[in-house]
Amino acid sequence: MHPTMRRVLYFCIAAIGFTNAFVFLAISAFLGGVASDIRNGHYYLNSHGRFTEVSRPVYLYADIHFWATWVLILIGSFAVGRGVRLRRQL
């Protein structure tokens, strides 16, 4: 693959990762926080000390999206570094 195309690909991957972070923030604000606690079969999201009870599927979605967001941020950070290094080489 041509280096210029690789650089564009790296920056697109980074943009996806960081866009997902903003989407995560919006969704967690809408839902009431991030997956926090399971007590007696009740599922809770937490936002700044305020707990919101949700269903199990919503809790699982919030938990999976939280961890996926961290992974995508790490991949996006790596992609930015590679893209910047490739831009210097060009």
Burial of residue 80 (number of CB atoms within 10 Å: 0-12, 13-18, 19+): middle
Q: Which of 24, 49, 25, 27 is nearest to 36 (CA)?
A: 49
Instruction: Dump pLDDT digits (tens) for 26-77.
Output: 999 999 999 999 999 999 999 999 999 999 999 999 999 999 999 999 999 9
The alpha carbon of residue 15 and the mean position of all alpha carbons in its chain are separated, in whole angstroms, by: 11
pLDDT at 3: 85
Q: How far apart are CA 84 and CA 33, in angstroms?
A: 34
Q: Contact at 8 Å (CB) between 44 and 54?
A: yes
pLDDT surpasses 90 at 14: yes
CB atoms inside a 10 Å sphere around CB 69: 21
